[in-house]
Chains A and B, each alone.
Chain A
Amino acid sequence: MFTDAIDRTRRLLHGLGGPARVALVVLLCFYALALLAPVVAPYAPSQQLDIVALKNQPPSFAHWFGTDRVSRDVLTRTLYGARVSLSVATLAMLVAAVVGTTYGLVAGTLGGAVDTVMMRFLDALLAIPRVLLLIAILALWNPVPLSMLVLLLGLTGWFDVSRLVRAEAMAMREREFVVAARSLGARRGRIMLRHLLPNVLVPVIVTTTLGIGNVIVLEAGLSFIGIGVHEPTASWGTMFQEGTAAFAGTWWAALFPGIAIVVTVLCFNVLGDALRAVLDPRHLPRSRIAAPAATFAAVAE
């Protein structure tokens, strides 16, 4: 029953332009490297080679990206950092997609008073400044385990998805096949699952995928101020923070993870642009600002 969705995805990929394809390839490479980190990386992520002789070594043939203050290989940690940064962001967006889709489907399908109440509640949630709230919670409840961080990022990031799904569901409700199914006596829940879900799936997948870029930045920002991911776990944000804490001294410890963040987000944005151009504009929130930095994540339609 999802063949339609698969077909649409295939058509979509064909329509992408050159830059978007490059971006897609780069992102897939990053994910592959993250997955394969234990195989590719020259060392173990927390391995301290020699805390006296090999600390803060600049990039060299032996250590392409140099070593950090406790003599860990920066290349290794950047690879493992990809693992943490990408998986935190991806899982958080997965949480957001599930919660947002469910919420949006329920509101959109039921409609009426239920819909009104649910949307008002959503307004309240949208009014909480996300970054401020995350900082307050994370700092006060420090240290927050990684799973909790994922959950928090996800639970504060589903609002856009649910609005999108609700709009989609509202529009879909009046479409012939749904009306037909309903007149044939199909139950509401059944209609939702069989007909609405596959139709909202592609836009949801696209939106959430693009959201990953934002969450990467958000996680990096939180880690940068010391409340996201914690030592000794490497994420690009923590590495960037450690590198810059030494005040412009060990630039290599900050540069490479810093570049990794920017390249990843850039790729997500390029891809997003292309996808939006290819897809029927009605199927995505109109010119939705995909939010550059974590900052502007709240700017949605």
Chain B
Amino acid sequence: MRRFVAVRLLHAIVVLFLVTTIAFFLIHLAPGDPFSFENASISSEVRNQWRAQFGYDRPLLEQYVRYLASVAQGKLGYSHSMHVPVVEALALRLPRTLLLMGLALILSFAIGIRLGVFEVRYWSTRKARASNAASLLVYSLPDFWLALMLLLIFGYWLPILPTGGMQDLVLHDYMTPSQAAWDRIKHMVLPLTTLTLLLGAAITRYQRASLLEVLPSDFVRTARAKGVDESRVIRRHALRNALLPMITLAGLALPALIGGALFVERVYSWPGMGLMVFTAIGVRDYPLVLASVIAGAVLVVVGNVLADIGYALADPRVRVH
């Protein structure tokens, strides 16, 4: 097991190095730099002075080597747009995104697994079919589309929920703890619902499909033959086997959520990493964009490694690989 983990980690490092390299050049080769913003009154001389201060006047390869060296020391550069070291910016923004994604992940698994079982258990009933149709529909909705619709409906037409941000900008700090908590929840409802619906629909369908696949298999048939009743078969035998691939899915869903979080954060002005990436790109804050891509890749890799380990723990058969 230890060797398995070690090999996995080694892979992860190689993968991250490749990602960093690819992203560095794709970003730095693009036209413009952090100091080519719009402002006619700032002369080229002043801009060049600023470029020199931050090393953007060096040859690209030198910048790359310097970047790698600083990454190796745990430094990710200085963010020109947020006026803090990149590490600080990430430390502020990433947890907010992770909070949203983590909650969405938990909720959508809770809902998705139940719905999946429900759809299989009551296979031919009208309710199950309606549920199946609904999950298929939600599953087909684009993220930005759903986010915008929910925003318009609940934030504007029936103005019962806030339209953006993470908390009331003004009043939050003056609230009692319980009011403040309620304020947080209100602001989180729409972004969280959007993400949960999208991921939940995917999980429902995945769960349903894997259950249907396991059901005809031998051990379930045996259990059924022994006279165990149908819902017990599903719960005890089929579900346990169908849960195995879900571990993989959990690892893989995390990075997929990043994409969804990008759109959701943008629509709801949720001040997480996704929103930060958009503004960073807008002002060519290269260190911040690069760090965000790397952070995203780290999430993916960590998710995969965890899923692999989880899978190995759950099912000894795979440990050989």
Contacts and interface: CB of A to CB of B under 8 A. Distances in A.
Q: Are A and B in direct contact (Cβ within 8 Å)?
A: yes
Interface of A: 120-121, 123-124, 126-133, 135-137, 139-141, 213, 217, 220-221, 224-225, 240, 244, 248, 258, 261-262, 265-266, 268-270, 273, 276, 281, 286-287, 289, 291-301
Contacts of B71: none
Contact of A131 (B146, B148, B213, B262): B262
Nearest to B22: A128
Interface in B249-275: 249, 252-253, 255-260, 262-263, 266
B259 A287 contact: no
B144 interface: yes
A247 to B, nearest CB: 8
A128 B293 CA distance: 7
B31 interface: yes
Interface string B122-140: 0000000000000011111
Contact of A295 (B14, B206, B245, B260): B260
A300 B304 CA distance: 12
B296 A132 contact: yes
Contacts of A136: 23, 26-27, 277, 281, 289, 293
A268 B14 CA distance: 37
Given A139-B282, A298-B252, 9 more contacts: A124-B19, A127-B301, A132-B262, A265-B142, A269-B139, A292-B198, A293-B141, A293-B260, A297-B259
A225 B144 CA distance: 9
B259 A298 contact: yes
Contacts of B260: 293, 295-296
A300 B206 CA distance: 11
Nearest to A293: B143
8 contacts: A124-B15, A127-B255, A136-B23, A136-B289, A140-B26, A248-B152, A265-B141, A292-B138
Interface of A is mostly: helix
A128 B259 CA distance: 11
Given A141-B30, A213-B140, A296-B256, A289 B206 contact: yes
Contacts of A300: 252
Contacts of A289: 202, 205-206, 249
A127 B281 CA distance: 21
A124 B139 contact: no
A287 B30 contact: no
B27 A140 contact: yes
Contact of A132 (B210, B249, B293): B293
A287 B209 contact: yes
Contacts of A265: 140-142
B37 interface: no
Contact of B144 (A133, A221, A281): A221
Contacts of A269: 136, 139-140
Interface in B62-114: none
Contacts of A294: 142-143, 259
A217 B141 CA distance: 8
Interface string B213-229: 10000000000000000
A270 to B, nearest CB: 7
A261 B145 CA distance: 9
B136 A270 contact: yes
Given A124-B14, A128-B23, A292-B201, A298 B255 contact: yes
B199 interface: yes
A270 B143 CA distance: 19
A295 B263 contact: yes
Given A133-B23, A292-B138, A140 B259 contact: no
B32 interface: yes
Interface centre among B14, B31, B255 (most CB of A within 10 A): B255
B143 A287 contact: no
B180 interface: no
Given A127-B297, A287-B213, A221 B142 contact: yes
